[in-house]
Amino acid sequence: MENRLRPLREARGLSQAECAEALGVTRQTVISIEKGHFDPRLSLAFRISRLFGVPVDELFISEE
Amino acid sequence: MLAMTPFLRWILVVGFGLVCGAMTGLAAAYLRTGGWDLRSFVAFGVATCPVFASLAMVFAHQGDEVAHPAETVEHEWAHQALAQTALDLFILVGSTTAAVGVAGLDQPGIGWLLPVMMVDVALRFGVPKHRHA
């Protein structure tokens, strides 16, 4: 699943470590989500959505 | 907790494991037979070294906890590694039992399975970690 985490994070001026801390996960988790290697759980997806003020369906784009 | 680079952390963890493993091996080598016994030293040292290193690893990572550990990619890797290791174990034991049965040999003990599983789960966890880094 593709996502817009990286552009949103960079637009906010957050490092991966700062983003990870704000979301309560590890930096590696943020890296893996940005690379599309890891699809987060719904609860984490909603925290990302709240952090950046973007609806979940605009944050994650299904490849289907 | 002092700020440590990952490299220094690994050195301390491995060093602690080696020193404590060697001390346990020494104690075993002298106490089990009443004199020096190299086999006891090696066996106890090798067996306890990873345990002490693991304990040191736990302490070295204190303060690294995150608010939602179950939602991290590391948690996902650990789950996958355990599931894959269980499957590996099933296949390994099944094929070994079949091969031994067909060849008419004595069934081997299960002691060798533990180190094989430990290495397997470490590899299963380490490979995606390095691939995704």
Regarding whether B82 and B30 lie in a shared domain, the answer is: no
At which residue do the structure tokens 């987060």 appear? A40
* In a shared domain, residues B73 and B129: yes
Note whether B103 and B123 are same-domain residues: yes
- Inspect the interface and report whether the beta carbons of B132 and A38 lie closer than 8 Å: yes
Structural domain total, chain B: 2
Q: B76: which chain A residues are within 8 Å (Cβ-Cβ)?
A: 38
pLDDT in tens, chain B (133 residues): 456 777 888 899 999 999 999 999 999 988 887 778 888 899 999 999 989 998 888 888 776 788 898 999 999 999 999 999 999 999 988 998 899 888 888 877 878 888 888 889 888 988 887 877 6
Give the residue from B24, B47, B65 where a domain finishes: B65
Q: What pLDDT is stored for residue B6 in this prediction?
A: 77
Of B65, B92, B113, which marks where a domain is finished? B65
**DSSP class of residue B26?**
H
Range of the domain at B47: 1-65
Question: What ipTM does the predicted assembly reach?
Answer: 0.87
pLDDT digits (tens, 9 = 90+) for A9-23: 999 999 999 999 999
Q: Is B109 exposed, middle or buried (0-12, 13-18, 19+ CB in 10 A)?
A: exposed
Specify whether B127 is located in the same domain as B83.
yes
Q: What is the enclosing helix (H) or strand (E) of A3?
A: strand A2-3
Which parts of chain A have pLDDT scores under 70? 63-64
In contact, B85 and B124? CB cutoff 8 Å: yes
B130–chain A Cβ distance below 8 A for any pair? no
| Domain assignments of chain A as residue spans, ordered by start | 2-61
Residue B44 identity: F
B73 CB neighbour count, 10 Å cutoff: 22
Judged by DSSP in three states, A2 sits in strand
Residue the block writes with tokens 């060093």: B15
Query: Which SS3 state, helix, strand or coil, does residue B83 take?
Result: helix
Beta bridge partners of A3: A60
Q: Are residues B57 and B18 in the same domain?
A: yes
- Model confidence, pTM: 0.68
Q: Could you tell me if B96 and B34 lie in one domain?
A: no
Co-location of B85 and B99 in the same domain = yes
Among A26, A30, A51, the residue to mutate for chain B (most B Cβ within 10 A)? A26
Superfamily for the A2-61 domain: lambda repressor-like DNA-binding domains (1.10.260.40)
